[in-house]
Amino acid sequence: MPLEQEWNLDDENIEVICIDCFDTLLHRICSADEILNIWCRMLAGQLPFSEKTIREIWDLSRKVTAQRAEKMSMEEASFYDVALEMYVRAKELDKTFPYSIDEFVRILKEEMARAENSRIVVNSELVAKLIQQKRSKRKIVCISDFYMPGSWLYDLFKMRNIDFLFDRIYVSSDVGLRKSSGNLYGYVLHDLRAILPDITYNNLFMLGDNRLSDYSIPQKMGIQAYRFEDNAISRKINRMYHGFMKIYKSNVQCHLPFSNYSFSLFWFCRKLLSNLKKENLNEVWFFSREGKILKRFFEEYLLLCNEKGIKCHYINISRQSTFFPSLSKIDIEDFYCLKVKTVTMSLKDFLDTLGIFECCFPLLDGEYDFEKVESNFFESDIFSKLKSDQRFISVYEQERVDAKQKAIHYFRSKGICLQAEKKYAVVDIGWKGSIQDCLYKIFDGKYKILGYYYGLVGDVKITEGNYKTGLIFSDFPVRTKGYGIYRINYRMLERVLYADHGSCLKYEADKAVLKRVSKNEAELYEFVEPMQQKIIEEFGPIYDNIETERHYGNDLVAEMAILKIQTYFCVDINREKFNHIEYMDSRIDMNFGDFGNGGSFIKFKLKQIYRIAATNRVEMVQKLELILFKLKMGVLANAVGFAAKRRLIR
């Protein structure tokens, strides 16, 4: 029911409007327990404990302090008492715990504010109504049963620009009294008499979502009360989801099932623009080869937004073209970027990776076994011998310096890494961002590079000057919302986003030398090009579907609707989809670092999942059922109202 019909403020006796916080003024898009889990993950990045240990410390500390509070006839323990108990336990676990109690409390509060702020939506309709009442000279107070202090709640309101609304904030953890007993209302009335001496319960108006503490109890005390029920967010998500489903089905009917990456790719572009604006960046460089079509997607999105202030560039770059130029002298180089792919290789594999096999072979032939595969090449006798061989060192150093100079010349011709004080934004499909690492090393870490990726997985190296962000999914520093869903078939994007040119081999002067396109690659691009075009065509309808939902929490609502459609995409298995995977996988050529000896860096495992699904759909559904359950119980609980499994799996 609309707020205007629910509210009856004609009674002139009403002097103070009391508002509940969570699920009334602020709506979480996940459960309160999930917020605590996110908080513990964030704390694990600062404290010398795991997420699990921090959660256990929190739960035990709350339990112990609640028992102490009960003995003192208090209904809720102070947050500061809980924090002190946590501090004592932390110091006992780690005798070298580096923080003072004040620093510890500050970290707890700041990280909880970040956790809550990342998962809340402000009820703008209610805010507008409260502003009207404030203009009518009525006082507005917030009353909440909550474990964080009122000062923290004020800071959260300030982050959302609604702090100006409130004359007072009352929280159970500050005064040891709760709404659920009615005692907090008595405290509020007594405190308000400092500014309104003649006020009684009859002058209060309470609005909240809890049937007992926000409605029944205040009514019994003589307070006018209305129970606020708002499921607008879940309705909006379902409405948006059904609009997306029409687009989804049209792609299936066109026999282009993988065009349904359009939803997550659209969201990727939306988040990319948001991040560029946040960093005040007006230029962005897209890495080949997936970056070629990503650039087209982003430019299409900019047109839809009528955004004209961003310049997009495309540079030919690859692990192969940047790996050798990024290396240091042989005596100090650790070959980290190669080791993370594999340590199992032959001497020929190693020299081929550096691109100097033909230079070294005539010099070293007869003294080395080039074909013998070492299980750990970098710990082998042959590598030790090579590192001390002056003939190899001479060739290595000469070719390395030459390759580095040519790479620098090419990149600067493309406008990147010219000014030391400038930040440079780069975009690629992702996974570890190792090409960005190489680029950063080529310029000796003198330029700040911000990398934006569809996804980040595994051993991701991040420094202050070489930062990376997974816009759709990431497990660094913690797993992002929907990580399990988006990661299910992320490797397929490497096929769907294939470019019409070969990979970059090296640089000559200001030109990139590209590998000749093979027959397989040409056939793969011909196969996926209609999918790419279809994705671009769907950006308009997706944009319209999101922008028509003009209500509070628009971006968060769209994010959850896109996660729902991506979940359906993962579950919607059929023979045509499986055949597409088989065809695309059969036309992938070996990547840089794949030696064909058991040490392959890229193993396409999605095919195995879909093979199971193509023969036994029930088994696949059972595998994904757990993911859906976790989403329903965690990420999508409460306000989101995630659809039941039977509505997604048909």
Give residue-wise pLDDT tens across range 623-650.
444 444 444 333 333 323 333 333 332 3
Cβ(205)–Cβ(18) under 8 Å? Answer: yes
In this structure, of 39-43, 60-64, 371-375, 640-644, the range with the lowest mean pLDDT score is 640-644
Q: What is the DSSP letter of 480?
A: P
Q: What is the DSSP letter of 463?
A: B
| Block residue for tokens 């992702």 | 430
Nearest to 551 by CA among 243, 267, 273, 239: 239
Give residue-wise pLDDT tens across range 371-426.
899 999 999 999 999 999 999 999 999 999 999 999 999 999 998 877 878 899 99
Cβ(393)–Cβ(330) under 8 Å? Answer: yes
What pLDDT shows up at residue 170? Answer: 96
User: Sign (positive/negative) of CA torsion 525, 527, 528, 534?
Assistant: positive
Mean pLDDT of 530-551: 83
CA gap 382, 368 in Å, rounded: 8
Quote the percentage of the chain above a pLDDT of 70.
Answer: 86
Give residue-wise pLDDT tens across range 475-527.
877 778 788 888 877 778 888 999 999 999 999 877 899 999 989 889 889 98
List Cβ<8 Å contacts ≥24 apart for 214-221: 214/20, 214/24, 214/179, 217/179, 217/180, 217/181, 217/182, 217/185, 218/18, 218/179, 218/182, 218/185, 220/182, 221/182, 221/185
Residues recorded for the chain:
650
Concatenate the DSSP letters of all residues of 133-184 into one string: HHHTT-EEEEEE--SS-HHHHHHHHHHTT-GGG-SEEEEHHHHT--GGGSHH
CA gap 98, 101 in Å, rounded: 10
DSSP H or E run through 474: strand 466-474
Q: Is residue 203 predicted with pLDDT exceeding 90?
A: yes
What pLDDT shows up at residue 148? Answer: 95
What pLDDT shows up at residue 213? Answer: 92
Give residue-wise pLDDT tens across range 442-458.
998 898 999 999 999 88
Mean pLDDT of 354-382: 89
Strands 26-28 and 120-122: antiparallel
- The encoded tokens of residue 578 equal 């499986």
State the pLDDT confidence band at 252, using cuts at 50, 70 and 90.
Answer: confident
How far is residue 429 from each of residues 338, 348, 447, measured CA to CA in Å? 19, 30, 22
272 contacts: CB under 8 Å, gap ≥ 6:
284, 298, 427, 452, 471
| Block residue for tokens 């790419």 | 532
| The model's pTM | 0.67
CA gap 560, 17 in Å, rounded: 32
The SS3 call for residue 444 is coil
| Block residue for tokens 């059972």 | 622
What pLDDT shows up at residue 627? Answer: 44
List Cβ<8 Å contacts ≥24 apart for 150-158: 150/174, 152/79, 152/109, 152/112, 152/113, 153/21, 155/109, 155/113, 156/26, 156/113, 156/116, 156/117
CA gap 433, 449 in Å, rounded: 11
Give residue-wise pLDDT tens across range 134-145.
998 999 999 999
- Spatial strand order of the sheet with 139-144 comes to 168-171, 139-144, 16-19, 204-208, 224-227
Cα distance from N-terminal residue to C-terminal residue, the chain? 32
What pLDDT shows up at residue 184? Answer: 95
- The encoded tokens of residue 249 equal 């089905």
Q: Is residue 617 predicted with pLDDT exceeding 60?
A: no
17 contacts: CB under 8 Å, gap ≥ 6:
9, 130, 133, 138, 139, 140, 141, 205, 207
Give residue-wise pLDDT tens across range 314-347.
999 998 899 999 999 988 988 887 887 788 999 9
Nearest to 248 by CA among 240, 257, 239, 235: 257
CA gap 365, 391 in Å, rounded: 12
| Block residue for tokens 């870490």 | 445
